[in-house]
Amino acid sequence: MKYALVTGGSRGIGKAVALKLANQGWPVLINYRSNQEAAQATLDEIVAAGGQAELLPFDVASAEQTEKAIDQWEASHPDDYVAVLVNNAGIRRDGMMFMMSDDDWHSVLDTTLGGFFYITRRLLKHMMPRRRGGRIINMASLSGLKGLPGQTNYSAAKAALIGATKALAQEVAPRNITVNAIAPGFIATDMTADLNEAELTKMIPAGRFGRPEEVAALAAFLASDDAAYITGQAISINGGLYT
């Protein structure tokens, strides 16, 4: 059986992606680091709608935890593999660079960029043999395209993720694997709850923040057979907020 794995799948965009993929018929692995209550609520919602889901807790920023979690899952699912990977896990530690701590810098890059590296490297071992194929979808950001003041760490991580997307896409295309990035603009989630939505909305031609479900719809398309010839792209979904 082919599974979809969504990192940071308990809340916000990750939750919306997990729900959408389950609705499309994918059994979904919901990764989370610490908020088991939110992850369980996402799983319960999927099951209530007739879908399949499992919880897969580990910190994507830890190579050791990532390897251990996937090893254990594969041992209990010898005939299955992850065919769709959505690298969604990420954190913000905003602040002006001259005041930024080492921890604020490294924690953001370790989660977004290190997390992408550890889990993608591990799962490619089963996507690549015998041209099984797969879909890798990396959740980038407007910050990675435009750069936003107060987010030097976050912008650096997301920009690097876009570069990695374009490079990896060329490496694995002969193996029937696509790699794309989604670059959301301002999306209404708990991660953006501290932003001045009224002020920022003035910059957006669509006149509003996006919804997680709108990002999830794009992720589901990129995971589908219809997107088999789309790879190495960074697709913006930002209400017309051009960079």
Please state, in angstroms and rounded to a whole number, the distance separating the CA atoms of residues 241 and 148.
13
Check 118, 154, 229, 242 and give the catalytic one: 154
Report which of 213, 82, 85, 232 is spatially closest to residue 168, judged by C-alpha positions.
Answer: 232
Report which of 211, 210, 216, 184 is spatially closest to residue 84, judged by C-alpha positions.
Answer: 216
8 Å CB contact between 143 and 196: no
Q: Which residues contact 192 (CB under 8 A, 6 or more apart)?
A: 186, 209
Active site residue 154: yes
**Catalytic site positions:** 154
